[in-house]
Structures are given as structure tokens and as C-alpha cells.
């Protein structure tokens, strides 16, 4: 039984004959491929860019603090030798100083890593080749922005670690600073748990205080605000402070005030020794975020000006976030370094770093004077660099 061949059979036979003819002439037949599904996939190029960035970042983040340590050690070596501090102890003290030094140089390390990792890709026109293969500049630099986010998280962690290591540095190198003499008059001391001590006079040698007011800010009925006032207090080693005659005002709200008078009392939370009350207040860089926030609140309740400390508090978050913004700013900036090579890239990075640090100090001074809101002052450099970064990124040929 004979059947007639349909159109599809004839077309298949023609395609087979065409392929056979192509082979006889030494040509390869081209077979159309199905379009691949588009998506974000991590490839060898991504890993290469990421690890190149990480190498430069780690080198810079550790190199800058080492340079600062060498300069500081040169200035203070004679002082440490006069204190009879052994060389291993000096070295250990400076090791504890590294996290605090790294905190402020992280944005500069991000900028150097971004400029030089992208600048290296322009040396043999790798960026041009990537664009020609269909990879945009934004996609090419995606690993750098991811690494900058990791650097920002690292900055937040270092910001919390630095106060602890700074305290160890000061203890090892005997850098604790105390007020001269044994007397202190009319001062406020911000303690833990949101407590503020207002003291008329303190004789640290005798361990005696006069005209004391202890205030704790509460949250309501379950945790009311109270103010304890007493005429005198005496310190006894091993027992703490013994309070003389006074009164305790318990205020669950702004209207009610319950008063309890006492002849003598002991406040278990008043644990600071006389020498601690004589100590100068901690620097903001020696306090963690939560501790500095409590100190700012306590200072405001005691009537002090906390604007400068508010700027410092906001910068504990603003400086790590700058790592992401600097990468946004530095990525398009790096494409211009091929005109002058490595020297041009170093000059751009140093100039940008100096400008950024100057802006931090300038906005800090303006915010401390109350000319602009303190929290806003801490974020102004970030806002300006973000605008510049978006502008430069929009002008990059993708």
C-alpha cells in the first residue's frame, strides 16, 4: 500500500539534503538555540570582582590603623617608657586600639577598594569586553555593592566593639584620666539605668558627699519616676554609700507625688565609688550605642546640652552606612582613573577621603552649636555623597 508524503515530510527531507550538502562543502550547519531564561546568576566574573575588592579592602582597613599607631607610638613612646611599661604590654595596648582606629577609616577603605578593583578592570579593557558581551556596568559592579553592605555590617559591629577595646587600651597603657585634687563641687553624674546624680560637694579622700539628689526617670505606674534627696552620704568600703536624712518622692505621673521621709537609707543602685565620681566623663567613642543613648537622655534630664553627643550618637550608625554610599559614589568615579593610572586613583581616593572627614567634623561642629538639628547634622555628609553618587552613576555608559 502506497501513501503520499505530506508537506512536513518533504520539508524534513529538504533540510536533511541541505545539511548533507553543507557537510560536503566543509561548512557547519547552524542550529538555532532556545533562548535562555534570564536571571541573576553568580558566575566566575562575580567571584573575581568580589575577592579583588575584599583583598584591597582588608589591606586598606588594616593598613591605615597601623599607620596611625606608628605615628601615635612615636609621639608617646617616651611617656610610656617613663611609666616603666614593658614593650610587650605597649604592643598589646596598641592591638586593643586597632578596632577604634578602624571604625573611622572604613569608608576610606571602601573607597580605595572600589576605585582600585574597578580601575584594575579597565587596564586591559575588561569592562569594555563585559559590556560588549551584554553585561551592564551595574551588573558588573553588583558584587562590589554587596561587599560594601558587608562592610557596613562590619562597621556596626566594630562600633560596638571599639569602646570595650579602647577601655582595655587605656587600662594597659595607664591612660585613665582623673580630675586633679580630691574635691568636686556642683556636678551631675549620669549613671547606669537612666539615673542622674546631682551633688553639691564631694570629698573623695574622706568619702563624703553633701546635698545629693538622685533622679530616676520612669515609665508609669509599673516603673515610676522617683527623686531621692538627702543632706549627706558616707562611703564605707565593702558596704557602699550610707545616706543620711532625706526624702523619697515617687511620681507615677505628672500629677501625683508620694513622699516618704527617712532618717537613713541605702540605695543599692548607688554603687559608684568616690574615685569613679571624680573621674572625667567618658568620651563618646568609649561608650557603646545604648550606653551613649542613656547618657544623652540623662544629660538632658539634668539640664545639660547634649547636642554634640547627639551628633556622636547618630554617627555611630551614619559612618557604617557611609560604606554603602561611598561604593555608590566610587564605582562610577573609578571608570575615570584609567586616564591617569594608579597615581590618579590614589589622588582621587585621598582627596575624597579628606573631603568626607572634613564634612563630618564641620557638620558635627554645626550640630553641636544647635544651628541645625544634631541628628540631621550627622547624616548631611551621607546625603550629599548619595546625591553625587546617583548623579555619577546615571552618567556611566552601561
pLDDT in tens, 224-273: 889 999 999 999 888 889 999 999 999 888 788 889 999 999 988 888 88
3-class SS of residue 313: helix
pLDDT on residue 158: 92
**Residue 302's pLDDT band (boundaries 50, 70, 90)?**
low
Position 24 pLDDT exceeds 50: no
Give the mean pLDDT of 349-362. Answer: 80
pLDDT on residue 171: 80
Q: What is the pLDDT of residues 315-326, one digit of tens each?
A: 899 989 988 988
Q: How far apart are CA 392 and CA 333, in angstroms?
A: 7
249 CB-near residues (< 8 Å, 6+ apart): 226, 227, 228, 229, 257, 258, 259
pLDDT on residue 269: 86
pLDDT on residue 152: 92
Question: For the CA atoms of 205, 167, 288, 281, what is the dihedral angle to 10 degrees?
Answer: 30
Position 125 pLDDT exceeds 60: yes
3-class SS of residue 124: coil
Beta carbons of 385 and 148 less than 8 angstroms apart:
no
Beta carbons of 324 and 152 less than 8 angstroms apart:
yes
Selection from 380, 244, 234, 239 nearest residue 318 by Cα = 380
Give me the percent of the chain exceeding a pLDDT of 70.
Answer: 78
For the chain, the C-alpha Rg in angstroms (whole number) is 33
Q: How far apart are CA 267 and CA 197, in angstroms?
A: 12
pLDDT on residue 22: 46
pLDDT on residue 282: 65
Give the mean pLDDT of 125-139. Answer: 71
Packed helices 341-368 and 87-121: angle between N→C axes, nearest 10 degrees: 120
Q: Hey, what's the cell of 131? A: 559590556
Q: What is the pLDDT of residues 142-162, one digit of tens each?
A: 888 999 999 999 999 998 998
Q: What is the pLDDT of residues 181-197, one digit of tens each?
A: 678 888 878 777 778 88
Q: Who wins on pLDDT, 18 or 355?
A: 355
Q: How far apart are CA 331 and CA 145, in angstroms?
A: 9
Question: For the CA atoms of 243, 249, 253, 256, what is the dihedral angle to 10 degrees?
Answer: 170
**Residue 398's pLDDT band (boundaries 50, 70, 90)?**
low
Name the average pLDDT for the chain: 79
Q: Who wins on pLDDT, 234 or 336?
A: 234
Q: Hey, what's the cell of 26? A: 566543509
pLDDT on residue 83: 82
Give the mean pLDDT of 27-40. Answer: 44
Give the mean pLDDT of 24-44. Answer: 51
Q: How far apart are CA 156 and CA 113, in angstroms?
A: 19
In b/e form, how buried is each residue of 124-134, taking b as 16+ CB within 10 angstroms?
eebbeebbeee
The answer to which of 126-135, 197-206, 326-335 has the lowest mean pLDDT is 126-135
Beta carbons of 335 and 396 less than 8 angstroms apart:
yes
Q: Who wins on pLDDT, 344 or 215?
A: 215
pLDDT on residue 331: 78
Q: Is 377 exposed, middle or buried (0-12, 13-18, 19+ CB in 10 A)?
A: buried
- Highest-confidence segment of 17-21, 114-118, 141-145: 141-145
Q: Hey, what's the cell of 379? A: 547624616
Give the mean pLDDT of 70-84. Answer: 87
Q: How far apart are CA 139 and CA 374, in angstroms?
A: 37
Give the mean pLDDT of 42-48. Answer: 83
Amino acid at each position: 500500500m502506497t501513501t503520499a508524503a505530506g508537506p512536513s515530510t518533504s520539508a524534513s527531507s529538504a533540510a536533511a539534503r541541505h545539511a548533507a550538502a553543507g557537510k560536503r562543502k566543509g561548512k557547519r550547519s547552524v542550529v538555532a538555540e532556545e533562548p535562555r531564561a534570564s536571571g541573576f546568576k553568580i558566575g566566575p566574573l562575580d567571584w573575581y570582582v568580589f575577592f579583588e575588592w575584599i583583598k584591597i579592602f582588608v589591606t586598606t582597613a588594616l593598613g591605615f590603623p597601623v599607620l596611625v599607631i606608628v605615628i601615635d607610638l612615636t609621639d608617646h613612646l617616651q611617656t610610656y617608657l617613663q611609666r616603666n611599661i614593658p614593650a610587650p604590654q605597649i604592643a598589646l595596648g596598641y592591638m586593643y586600639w586597632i578596632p577604634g582606629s578602624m571604625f573611622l577609616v572604613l569608608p576610606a577603605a571602601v573607597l580605595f577598594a572600589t576605585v582600585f578593583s574597578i580601575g584594575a578592570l579597565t587596564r586591559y579593557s575588561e569592562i569594555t569586553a563585559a559590556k560588549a558581551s551584554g553585561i551592564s556596568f551595574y551588573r558588573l559592579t553588583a558584587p562590589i555593592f554587596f561587599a560594601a553592605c558587608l562592610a557596613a555590617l562590619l562597621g556596626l559591629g566594630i562600633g560596638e566593639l571599639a569602646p570595650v577595646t579602647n577601655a582595655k587600651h587605656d587600662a594597659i597603657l595607664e591612660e585613665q584620666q582623673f580630675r586633679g585634687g580630691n574635691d568636686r563641687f556642683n556636678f551631675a553624674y549620669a549613671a547606669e539605668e537612666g539615673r542622674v546624680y546631682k551633688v553639691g560637694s564631694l570629698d573623695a579622700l574622706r568619702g563624703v558627699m553633701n546635698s545629693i539628689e538622685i533622679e530616676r526617670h520612669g515609665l508609669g505606674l509599673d516603673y515610676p519616676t522617683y527623686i531621692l534627696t538627702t543632706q549627706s552620704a558616707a562611703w564605707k568600703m565593702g558596704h557602699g554609700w550610707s545616706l543620711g536624712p532625706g526624702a523619697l518622692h515617687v511620681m507615677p505621673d505628672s500629677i501625683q507625688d508620694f513622699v516618704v521621709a527617712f532618717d537613713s537609707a541605702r540605695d543599692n543602685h548607688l554603687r559608684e565609688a568616690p574615685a569613679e565620681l571624680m573621674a572625667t566623663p567618658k568620651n563618646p567613642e568609649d561608650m557603646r550605642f545604648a550606653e551613649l543613648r542613656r547618657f544623652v537622655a540623662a544629660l538632658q534630664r539634668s539640664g545639660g546640652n547634649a547636642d554634640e553627643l547627639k551628633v556622636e550618637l547618630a554617627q555611630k550608625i551614619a559612618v557604617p552606612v557611609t560604606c554603602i554610599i561611598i561604593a555608590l559614589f566610587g564605582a562610577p568615579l573609578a571608570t575615570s582613573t584609567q586616564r591617569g593610572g594608579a597615581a590618579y586613583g590614589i589622588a582621587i581616593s585621598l582627596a575624597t577621603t579628606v573631603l568626607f572627614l572634613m564634612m563630618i567634623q564641620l557638620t558635627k561642629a554645626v550640630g553641636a552649636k544647635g544651628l541645625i538639628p544634631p541628628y540631621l547634622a550627622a547624616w548631611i555628609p551621607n546625603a550629599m555623597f548619595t546625591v553625587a553618587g546617583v548623579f555619577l552613576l546615571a552618567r556611566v555608559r552601561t
